[in-house]
Chains A and B, each alone.
Chain A
Amino acid sequence: MVMEIDCKGMYYKKLNKMIRNAIDKNETEFVLNNINGQRYIGNGINEKIKITINGVPGNDLATFMNGPSLIINANGQDGLANTMNAGEIIVHGSAGDVLGYGMRGGKLLIRDNVGYRTGIHMKEYKKQVPVIIVGGVAGDFCGEYMAGGVLVLLGLDKDDDTPIAGDYLGTGMHGGVIYIRGEVEEHTLGAEVSVLELNDKDIKLLKKHLGEYCKHFGLDLEEVMSKPFIKLLPVSSRPYGNLYAY
């Protein structure tokens, strides 16, 4: 059974409590209608439930989330997937700043553009490798402090004058990988990253993740893969190792 909730004018506290209570009664699928800025949807939930969100959800969606899959049929706001551990978020639109902060696992797939500091301090641990794929372009400080995981910028539908990412791309990066469809100008890169060409392993990994991405958004994988990608890797896993006198 799908539990449908009309969220018009409902405060987040009541909505999220309602969802948690329903999960306790083994409810597994939710459709939230008339969502308009309610925060913390999916927050801290450990069960593998599915939530379809119709409307623009508020900040910190899926914070500390550990399992659910969320579909947003609109734009997202700031702080999606904050410290997320597992699960999947699909955004049929754009999203705001600080996405995937400290994200440790799961997937965040965004059809269009994102704001500043996407994937900041994303990290990975053993089998938990977080993935963020952005269909459009990203703002400044993308991949800042990144310590693990996979971040992909596709730049679909952008015109030639729009850069695919803002300044300080990968600044402070010390783990993980950023794949970019197209080129980036050297001066936009953080000091801690270098640009490399893709190898077969990269292509395989990209095809796997992008195949899934294309399915969600009705895109053609071959067309997405037709443009060459570059990869950004940290120069060192210990960028600040030599700063100190002992």
Chain B
Amino acid sequence: MMSELPAEFIVKIDYDRCRRCKRCVMNCSFGCMQFKDRVVPEHKNCVACHRCATFCPESAITITRNELAYKENANWMPEIRKNILKQAQTGGILLTGMGNPRPYQILWDHMLIDACQVTNPSIDPLREPMELRTFLGRKPDRLEFAHNKDGEIDLVTELQPQVKLDVPVLFGAMSYGAISLNAHRALAMAANRSGTLMNTGEGGLHKDLYPYAGNIIVQVASGRFGVHSEYLNTSAMVEIKIGQGAKPGIGGHLPGEKVGEEISKTRMIPVGTDAISPAPHHDIYSIEDLSQLIFAIKEAVDYTKPVSVKISAVHNVAAIASGIVRAGADVVTIDGFKGGTGASPMVIRDNVGIPIELALAAVDQRLRDEGIRNNASIICAGGIRSSGDVAKAIALGADATVIGTAALVAMGCRICQKCYTGNCAWGIATQKPELTRRLDPEVGAQRLSNLLTAWSLELKEILGSLGVNSIESLRGSRERLRGIDLDEQTLKLLGIKPAGIGQ
């Protein structure tokens, strides 16, 4: 039986404008653009990455949806039928890339920020100092001081290691393997310039990036790829990865064909072998076991760096986060169900987990209720798209936020969701040398830095309009948020009042 998939997109070429320079053919990494006596697109291969259209000097290329590839049906949408056809052909688990694309409600867009008028003056951030500096790590319950023998006052309380951020936005955990070394370089350089952190993900740290140690979170995941004592110590912070928003509860799998010479060195596995990360850490079956690994890492770094534990936002996230803090983590990173991935089974990405907004509110509230909120910083990840989202997350209780997809978009990503194929035309989610060289790390770093500069300016504008002069003053200040078009239960969970209600 024929079950050929119809083309998802139609590539239209304006032959009046096309001057047959073949630039589109050279740029297409999915085998769509072909040259016969003229450019002839193989529509079925198009993934709408827009590389060809972007680089066409004559603007002769338009990519459109293949509207009637599937006859309209409100129940049997094209995506669903495409998936059934694919699985009927292959019998396989559907793989996908990037974050959840389904039209679930975006709660950030149902929250509005307060501003000052008349009775409480706003502040002009262009002329007055405005503080975005954030410290990640365990804060003491109290500070104790004592007079020393010279009669001066000394701090007696032993402070735990802290990481200073100039902007409360970190780059998300994306491994070298999922993304290219040039992308990793760009992230490390930008983190260094902007005073923030990048995160190695679970693929180890390439030696070229060791000079950026002060701006790097090194991850320890279940596969322990490239994890050794030097790696742990080449960092600002160490993160135990338990879960990822795009694929809660499941492991990872870097196929052997992506494990070339450099990745092999970084992950410390032979060239061409699969890098399989088991779903759980098999040395962690309980909070007590987690504590054991946290302190194993603290011992290995001699208690000089904070240790973060990253989990996916799941139903019971608040209780789990409480356990994580009590286990000794200095930072809890929560990744919401819109977080991205290099590769994940579609059924998991699209159906498992909860929105980060609700998870964040629940975790912050739980830690406050238990009187342990100061024991750990909260990092909020998975679906942060703008400085507005950052401000709302911080008002809901986050210490800092994470951008993964937004960072990739800044480097050129068009969210075509084909990361798992390794054919990324923009040189980001690929290991093919002819593609990775398309991403100039210097240009990438500049664009990432620009994005953070822009968001910093915007955050300062928001703070100014709120009449506060530091991000500290907004942190956990839910009174400055209002909900719109939200039901009572959701408002209650978010801990905010509906718009229209004053104090």
Report the Cα distance A240→B273, complex, angstroms: 12
Helix, strand, loop or mixed for chain B's interface? mixed
Q: Identify the B interface with A (CB < 8 A).
A: 86-87, 89-95, 220, 222-224, 227-230, 232, 253, 255-256, 264, 268-270, 272-274, 276, 278, 282-283, 292-293, 295-296, 299-302, 345, 420-421
Q: How far is the CB of B305 from chain A (nearest CB, A)?
A: 12
Please state if A44 and B273 are interface contacts (CB–CB under 8 Å): no
Does A73 make an interface contact (CB < 8 A)? Answer: no
Please state if A44 and B300 are interface contacts (CB–CB under 8 Å): yes
Q: How far is the CB of B418 from chain A (nearest CB, A)?
A: 9
Q: How far is the CB of B71 from chain A (nearest CB, A)?
A: 23
Q: Which residues of A contact B420 (CB under 8 A)?
A: 246
Interface membership of chain A positions 135-158, coded 1 if the CB is closer than 8 angstroms to chain B and 0 otherwise: 000000000110110000000000
**Can you list 28 A-B pairs with a CB-CB distance of less than 8 A?**
A39-B295, A40-B296, A64-B296, A65-B229, A66-B228, A78-B283, A79-B292, A82-B296, A85-B228, A98-B282, A104-B228, A120-B282, A123-B268, A123-B269, A125-B264, A148-B269, A237-B256, A240-B274, A240-B276, A241-B256, A244-B345, A245-B89, A245-B90, A245-B91, A245-B93, A245-B94, A246-B92, A246-B95
Q: How far is the CB of B500 from chain A (nearest CB, A)?
A: 49
Does A112 make an interface contact (CB < 8 A)? Answer: no
Does A75 make an interface contact (CB < 8 A)? Answer: no
Q: Taking A40-B295, A102-B223 as contacts, is the C-beta distance between A64 and B228 under 8 angstroms? A: yes
Interface membership of chain A positions 37-48, coded 1 if the CB is closer than 8 angstroms to chain B and 0 otherwise: 001100111100
Q: How far is the CB of A63 from chain B (nearest CB, A)?
A: 4
Does A60 make an interface contact (CB < 8 A)? Answer: yes
Does A54 make an interface contact (CB < 8 A)? Answer: no
Q: Taking A39-B295, A144-B282 as contacts, is the C-beta distance between A245 and B229 under 8 angstroms? A: no
Please state if B224 and A63 are interface contacts (CB–CB under 8 Å): no
Please state if B300 and A63 are interface contacts (CB–CB under 8 Å): yes
Q: Which residues of B contact A242 (CB under 8 A)?
A: 92
Please state if B232 and A244 are interface contacts (CB–CB under 8 Å): no
Q: Taking A101-B224, A237-B274, A245-B87 as contacts, is the C-beta distance between A63 and B296 under 8 angstroms? A: yes
Q: Which residues of B contact A98 (CB under 8 A)?
A: 282-283
Q: How far is the CB of A74 from chain B (nearest CB, A)?
A: 20
Please state if B268 and A104 are interface contacts (CB–CB under 8 Å): yes
Q: List 20 additional A-B contacts (Cβ < 8 Å) besides A78-B283, A240-B253, A245-B89.
A: A17-B302, A44-B300, A44-B301, A60-B293, A64-B229, A79-B292, A102-B224, A120-B282, A121-B223, A123-B268, A124-B270, A125-B270, A148-B269, A237-B273, A237-B274, A245-B86, A245-B90, A245-B91, A245-B94, A246-B420
Q: How far is the CB of B170 from chain A (nearest CB, A)?
A: 24
Q: Identify the A interface with B (CB < 8 A).
A: 12-13, 16-17, 20, 39-40, 43-46, 59-60, 63-66, 78-79, 82-83, 85, 98, 101-102, 104, 117, 120-121, 123-126, 128, 144-145, 147-148, 172, 174-175, 237-246
Q: How far is the CB of B293 from chain A (nearest CB, A)?
A: 8
Q: Which residues of B contact A66 (CB under 8 A)?
A: 228-230
Q: How far is the CB of B331 from chain A (nearest CB, A)?
A: 20
Q: Which residues of B contact A20 (CB under 8 A)?
A: 302
Report the Cα distance A170→B114, complex, angstroms: 59
Please state if A43 and B299 are interface contacts (CB–CB under 8 Å): yes
Of the residues A44, A124, A128, A174, contact of B276 by C-beta under 8 Å: A174
Q: Which residue of B lies closest to A116 (CB)?
A: B282
Please state if B274 and A174 are interface contacts (CB–CB under 8 Å): yes
Report the Cα distance A147→B421, complex, angstroms: 24
Report the Cα distance A128→B165, complex, angstroms: 38
5 closest A-B pairs by beta carbon, nearest first, are: A44-B300, A102-B224, A245-B92, A245-B90, A125-B268
Report the Cα distance A79→B345, complex, angstroms: 31
Q: How far is the CB of A67 from chain B (nearest CB, A)?
A: 9
Report the Cα distance A166→B86, complex, angstroms: 40
Q: Taking A60-B292, A121-B282, A240-B274 as contacts, is the C-beta distance between A40 and B224 under 8 angstroms? A: no
Q: How far is the CB of B210 from chain A (nearest CB, A)?
A: 16
Report the Cα distance A10→B86, complex, angstroms: 62
Please state if A101 and B276 are interface contacts (CB–CB under 8 Å): no
Q: Which residues of B contact A126 (CB under 8 A)?
A: 270
Report the Cα distance A20→B298, complex, angstroms: 13
Q: Taking A39-B295, A64-B229, A98-B282 as contacts, is the C-beta distance between A241 and B274 under 8 angstroms? A: yes
Q: Which residues of B contact A85 (CB under 8 A)?
A: 228-229
Q: Which residues of A contact B232 (CB under 8 A)?
A: 44, 64
Report the Cα distance A16→B301, complex, angstroms: 12
Report the Cα distance A124→B273, complex, angstroms: 11
Q: Which residue of A lies closest to B89 (CB)?
A: A245
Q: Which residues of B contact A43 (CB under 8 A)?
A: 296, 299-300
Please state if B95 and A244 are interface contacts (CB–CB under 8 Å): yes
Please state if A147 and B227 are interface contacts (CB–CB under 8 Å): no
Q: Which residue of B lies closest to A42 (CB)?
A: B299
Q: Which residues of A contact B87 (CB under 8 A)?
A: 245
Of the residues B86, B222, B255, B296, contact of A241 by C-beta under 8 Å: B255
Please state if A244 and B283 are interface contacts (CB–CB under 8 Å): no
Q: Which residues of B contact A246 (CB under 8 A)?
A: 92, 95, 420-421
Q: How far is the CB of B438 from chain A (nearest CB, A)?
A: 22
Report the Cα distance A71→B472, complex, angstroms: 51
Q: Which residue of B lies closest to A65 (CB)?
A: B229
Q: Which residues of B contact A175 (CB under 8 A)?
A: 270, 273
